[in-house]
Amino acid sequence: MVLARRGMACTSHPLASLAAVESLRGGGNAIDAAVAATALLGVVEPFSTGIGGDCFMLVWSARERRLFGLNGSGRAPRRATVEALRAAGHTTMPMLGMASVTVPGAVDAWACALERFGKRSLAEALAPAIAYASEGFPATEVVSAQWAFGAGLLQTPGGKEAFAPPRLGAVTRLPELAHSLRQIAEGGPEILYRGALAERIIAFSDAHGGLLEAADLADHASTWVAPIATTYRGYTVHEIPPNGQGLAVLLALNILEQFDVGAESDPAVATHLRIEAVKLAYADRDRYLADPEIAPVPVEALLAQSYARGRAQTIRRDAAAVEVGPGAPLAGTDTVYLTTADAEGNVVSCINSLFFPFGSGMVVDGTGIALQNRAFGFSLDPRHPNCIGPGKRPFHTIIPAMICRDGRPVVSFGVMGGNVQAQAQVQVVSRLLDHGANIQEALDAPRFHYLDGRRVAVEGTFGPGVRQALTALGHEVQDEAAALPYGGFGGGQGIMIDPMTGAFWGGSDERKDGSAIGF
């Protein structure tokens, strides 16, 4: 871990962590630092995040002594209907191309967060990103490998030229992206949603058979939301409410709390119980999660302890469930995560994403803006609450988290990696609260990735004994490669706050290039 007293930033890239700390040292607060780091990650990890993606935040305001949620996810175009997609020949939601694009929400979210809680302007926050995009940065190990993979999903000649994958150590410049960031710094979000960049996005969409219209961009707005939460071992775990999958984390924790996981001497049994809890939570996630503005999600009923007890009773300690379905409560892939904290007591848990590497694979000509493919998260089944529809927000994988005790934040963390995010969060929380791990230990601990049915991929660091024991329990244990198309085993960042001294304990997942930096 990295320990510091006045400020801390943990991100998936050292340059982003440094930019955040420089913002803090220059008089900015945790919100300013988070936006600076997020924008820079869109430069140094452009396949994961950027202007064309979405952003979710949890913000602990020291002044108000309260946690706020910000949903910066974009909506489906007005013309996005089941009929329109079927008429275009789609029988399922397309993974790539303009039909998979939703309105990019990140820039508006950055501006909203700064306006409400920041000390610095958007232009100041974007300055490091503009500098590195213009002047260049060396490609790091994990980034260069993931960039090379993601480049294979780029769909247009302009995109392939703008984001040609760099070799390890190559100094990389992104002049088109630098120009777009500079325009936003000078003109604000208006440029992206109603100005020159909006015009280029719509023209590009029209040229490639997309559904976006000018009004889709012009009408976009982020939403301040009340976080949802549950208690686990006496701590309160907070998540962004649907349309994000944070609900699945809370469902799994409620189920897992019915077992004394910390007392299990056999790591295979503890892992089995976590897998089965996740399996049940994901069944509910896939059945109920949708945009609550369009299709009500029974959050309160799903998070009831009585519901968790009923779901937990279906778990067998001696055997893996073959198939699980959703319960019936009574009504009542690429991403960046970062967290920052400052001496005033502000804490930010932030995640920004294009979804797949380079999102839809569509890069708006001359802008360096890769458009996300979040519409892939919709269903084409009219009976499903997450069916695509005009102005609807899709099922979202990105989920920042925060753990509080006695009304104060004690851990701000998140794990990037598509489908694995919710189940990886469950594993991190369990390591922290069931086994007393510190944040670095919890992030580095071996992970599983539940796939479907009885299939579960496990990291080699579990060791052969755990793999064999899980197989004996009926799990179909897969090797690490099986998890890669679904987000692998993720990569997380986190800050623990010492309740006695207020010092920051920073952790950065060994699965990424990132670092924790404090002062």
Strand 455-458 and strand 476-478: pairing? parallel
The first and second tokens of residue 298, run together, are 């029974």
Contact status, residue 485 vs residue 517, Cβ threshold 8 Å: no
The first and second tokens of residue 283, run together, are 């069944």
The first and second tokens of residue 238, run together, are 């907070």
User: What whole-number distance in Å separates Cα of residue 447 and Cα of residue 451?
Assistant: 13
Q: Is 118 helix (H, G, I), strand (E, B) or coil?
A: coil
User: What whole-number distance in Å separates Cα of residue 495 and Cα of residue 498?
Assistant: 10
User: What whole-number distance in Å separates Cα of residue 232 and Cα of residue 221?
Assistant: 33
User: What whole-number distance in Å separates Cα of residue 394 and Cα of residue 380?
Assistant: 12
Q: How far is CA 174 from the centre of its chain?
A: 24
3-state secondary structure 223-241: EEECCEEEEECCEEEEECC
Count CB-CB contacts under 10 A for residue 236.
18
Which one is catalytic: 140, 335, 340, 367? 335
By C-alpha distance, which of 2, 98, 109 is closest to 49?
109
Contact status, residue 356 vs residue 153, Cβ threshold 8 Å: yes
Distances (CA, A) of 330 to 289, 291, 297, 307: 16, 19, 11, 9
CA dihedral 138, 96, 451, 313 (to 10 degrees): 120
User: What whole-number distance in Å separates Cα of residue 213 and Cα of residue 70?
Assistant: 25
- 308-316 own/partner pairs: CB under 8 Å, 24+ apart: 308/251, 308/254, 308/255, 308/257, 308/258, 309/258, 311/251, 311/255, 311/280, 312/255, 312/258, 312/259, 312/277, 314/280, 315/255, 315/259, 315/273, 315/276, 315/277, 315/280, 316/276
Q: What is the DSSP string of 61-94?
A: ETTTTEEEEEEE-----TT--HHHHHHTT-SS--
Q: Is 335 one of the annotated active-site residues of the chain?
A: yes
**Residues annotated as part of the active site:** 335
